[in-house]
Structure 1
């Protein structure tokens, strides 16, 4: 047995040695005549398909059958890619191999392609002595194509035109631009570099040509560009080049209905003109546009909405933002549907940009806003000042006012004559024929150069039946005696809140933002911030404020925060408030929150919002569809928690809303207007609070429904005492004690 094993081992050893001998004596096949597109070196565009070929030969290297061939981009850059025999089958000792290579996605650069042959014994040529070079590059980029400086243009027959373009190969191979030419109607025209020589990878080129003999219609311009590697780029630009004898006429040019005008920078000017082709071909007008001193083109629109007649009135707006003080020529262009073009440079159509006089300190009887009774005389005063806007003498000032019909009233210098760049002016207005409502008294002025301040400056006057108003000694109490103050920190709500920590309430099966709930929660958080200094409380209150602002509706110049759910007052279906509805109580608490955050931050944005919320307090029912305030038949001013035709007269909601007026008054206490509304509200509460008393029992929630509530009775007691601290009016304190003694 041992002898048999020994013999087998000897035979096996001899076989292995024989195979190794066979491999050692055979060299790998040679690789020759490597070509790409039949060349050793080529330059192509990325995405080009090229053919790589070579001869794999083993006839002198062992005479073995060729088994395969591969190529790699870069020497031995595995894995290699397979090549195929030209005759379809590897079955000879010499084979021509080939492969098509798609260079799509290849970036610009130089690539070396290597080929490897393998015979049937597995001998591979992995150190090839031949390769081909493939340079991938993009053609030049063509841009900024223009004809006489425009991308599209209309010209008359025989006009000379200049075609310009920019050729750039700096980012597409960095090759030198070699040539460029235009093809128009199958005619080639050479383009020349502006610097006279094609010697850079970036060139600005142009060509001049005449349109003499051209047919009417559109002509396609094709630009071709080449770099010194032979890469070509072609771009097509469509231009309207046509022949026409008589273009439309342009006339009646006006600037805000004047032939010459002077305005301040930023004041828009209406441009109008007539475009007429009835006597010059009777062709429909196709287009019209204007430029200021040959600057940017702005299109004009037909007044009737469509270009479809041979005569059109056109209009547009000149935006003067950014224009410096100067005189500008207005040029108007027009074309008809055949392509006839006219340009007019009206020397007498001049736009002067010059700052007019400034107008400041507009007052009515000394106040910027005031409530008056119909029939009274009021004095309007203002300062007109040109010292910093040209230093020209003030020439005139006047008032405009009126809802619907606009009235103009001259103003007069207080020193008797217009002879200075700065004048104090005045006028007396009789309001006897004025309807009830809000009136804006606008003051306008001009200097002797006819620069007019068209925007002016205004004061606000409300004409209304007189509200009953007592005088009050309004004071800001100690912090602990003010509304919305607590002795301990308030808890932060963590359930039924949105991502910003703003609470939501469940109504009719859905979560809603409740304006009063949000405002009261924010005021509690603000109080906790003041007591503790912990900014997390402040941040919650600001988030709540932003939610109220974002939810609000702008109506009649005022900002109203809506209820987004229907609500049946006291559960009565016939007392339904239909969403969206607005509440005077919500408006007051919104105003309180704004005023107190402004007091901390001084933020001008919040101050502007507060002014808009305050406007809701004088949008009376008698003059507005949306309202939360009204004046009753006895001239009492009332803030309504539930605005209905049949008034509810809820006491606690009225007082909460009045807290908003108090907070806003102490924020802007120079305003007589705020003072008047606040006094009117306090007077109404003082004269009506006794109507809510039930001797020896709980007080009434609202006069309409005579509902009573322990909770609201206790609120009435606290509210009367709080009003006493703000007004020093003993009656409010007495009523707080009376309600307390009736029931507590």
Structure 2
């Protein structure tokens, strides 16, 4: 085990589970060889609390990451260093968690500095547009500068809800409302909201938020969608946000968790989980990112605690059984 918990981009925090077992499944074998560990959560997820136990990490230090002269995180992409709204949001959530446990003014200031940096990244229409082009090989897509992500919109909601709780400054309500409005803009109009019709025509009324928008078929990235649902939960169940999109966000959270139930089984590729459903919509080999299996496990537990649905508990137990000690 590392002495310092390192935040890999898009991963969760908590005390890890050590993996001892070996398996004939080559995905599981790689998981074990890389010493990956899934994260059990020892607290219930509540609005404005320590987001996914981020405070349990000793420092905010994602891989391939640096700071600018103003203390804003930047991500290394090959030879480039770029601002990333998700990294900024996760840094803010880390310092918010630290502030809740320490009550230190420096943690509060670091949290609000990153929340304000997030506002500066926001376009007038509420979108968090990435300022750089980005290629995702397995999706056969190069995103030009200005691309958008449902995950960025959702994690911003989690930040702005907490920033308003700390400061009571209406600018965070306004920023969150704008982020929510863009999140619910259909993909056909340049947004991130779509449906499950690319899986089944009978599910065209089931909503979905894409982390990576692809055309002509959706890819349905699981982890980014669940993080987006957490943002909807934070915004929708915060009574302060009722007049700022909160009531609609609550409804969309309920509809959204119903959507993911429809297709969870399709992420199971036989003893492991796929990153997305491009194997179905793009007709290719399942795209498996070894480390994300642990994220999927943790997210199923969080969704179970939020909804009380044993459906999510079943998948939590199933997916962790693939890598649990024997």
**TM-score band, normalised by the shorter chain?**
0.7 to 0.9
Deviations 1:189-211 (A, max 9, x none): xxxxxxxxxxxxxxxxxxxxxxx
Distance 1:491 1:713 in 2: 23
Offset at 1:489? 4.6
Offset at 1:679? 1.1
Match of 1:628 in 2: 192
Match of 1:549 in 2: 119
**1:724 paired residue among 294, 300, 304:** 304
Q: Does 1:564 align with 2:138?
A: no
Offset at 1:480? 11
Offset at 1:664? 0.3
Match of 2:214 in 1: 644
For the residue of structure 2 that corresponds to 1:630, the secondary structure is: strand
Offset at 1:482? 6.7
Match of 1:713 in 2: 293
Deviations 1:459-489 (A, max 9, x none): xxxxxxxxxxxxxxxxx74689974324625
Tell me, yes or no, if the aligned pair for 1:720 and 1:735 is still in contact at 8 Å.
Answer: yes
Match of 2:255 in 1: 680
Gaps of 5+ in 1: 1-475
Q: Does 1:509 align with 2:73?
A: no
Q: Does 1:527 align with 2:93?
A: no
Tell me, yes or no, if the aligned pair for 2:45 and 2:52 is still in contact at 8 Å.
Answer: no
Distance 2:134 2:306 in 1: 33
Distance 1:500 1:541 in 2: 13
Gaps of 5+ in 2: 1-43, 198-202, 280-285
Tell me, yes or no, if the aligned pair for 2:73 and 2:83 is still in contact at 8 Å.
Answer: yes
Tell me, yes or no, if the aligned pair for 1:630 and 1:638 is still in contact at 8 Å.
Answer: yes
For the residue of structure 2 that corresponds to 1:511, the secondary structure is: strand
**2:233 paired residue among 659, 662, 667:** 662
Distance 1:631 1:492 in 2: 34
Offset at 1:554? 2.0
Distance 2:172 2:315 in 1: 36
Seen in structure 2, the aligned counterparts of structure 1 residues 704 and 563 have a Cα distance that, compared at 3 Å, is same
For the residue of structure 1 that corresponds to 2:67, the secondary structure is: coil
For the residue of structure 2 that corresponds to 1:560, the secondary structure is: coil
Distance 1:596 1:531 in 2: 14
For the residue of structure 2 that corresponds to 1:504, the secondary structure is: strand
Deviations 1:168-227 (A, max 9, x none): xxxxxxxxxxxxxxxxxxxxxxxxxxxxxxxxxxxxxxxxxxxxxxxxxxxxxxxxxxxx
Match of 2:266 in 1: 691
Distance 2:227 2:191 in 1: 17
Seen in structure 2, the aligned counterparts of structure 1 residues 508 and 499 have a Cα distance that, compared at 3 Å, is same
Seen in structure 2, the aligned counterparts of structure 1 residues 530 and 567 have a Cα distance that, compared at 3 Å, is same
Match of 1:231 in 2: none
Structure 1 or 2: more strand by fraction? 1
Distance 1:724 1:616 in 2: 27
Seen in structure 2, the aligned counterparts of structure 1 residues 482 and 738 have a Cα distance that, compared at 3 Å, is farther
Offset at 1:573? 8.3
Distance 1:692 1:574 in 2: 20
Q: Does 1:587 align with 2:153?
A: yes
Q: Does 1:536 align with 2:106?
A: yes
Distance 1:616 1:656 in 2: 16
**Corresponding pairs, count:** 262
Residues 17-36 of structure 1 aligned to structure 2 (within 5 Å) = none
Distance 1:522 1:509 in 2: 25
Distance 2:247 2:194 in 1: 20
Offset at 1:574? 3.0
Deviations 1:93-132 (A, max 9, x none): xxxxxxxxxxxxxxxxxxxxxxxxxxxxxxxxxxxxxxxx
Seen in structure 2, the aligned counterparts of structure 1 residues 661 and 484 have a Cα distance that, compared at 3 Å, is same
Give the structure-1-normalised TM-score.
0.34
Structure 1 or 2: more helix by fraction? 2
Deviations 1:604-623 (A, max 9, x none): 1111111111101321124x
Higher relative contact order (CA 8 A, sep 6+): 2
Offset at 1:675? 2.0
Distance 2:139 2:272 in 1: 25
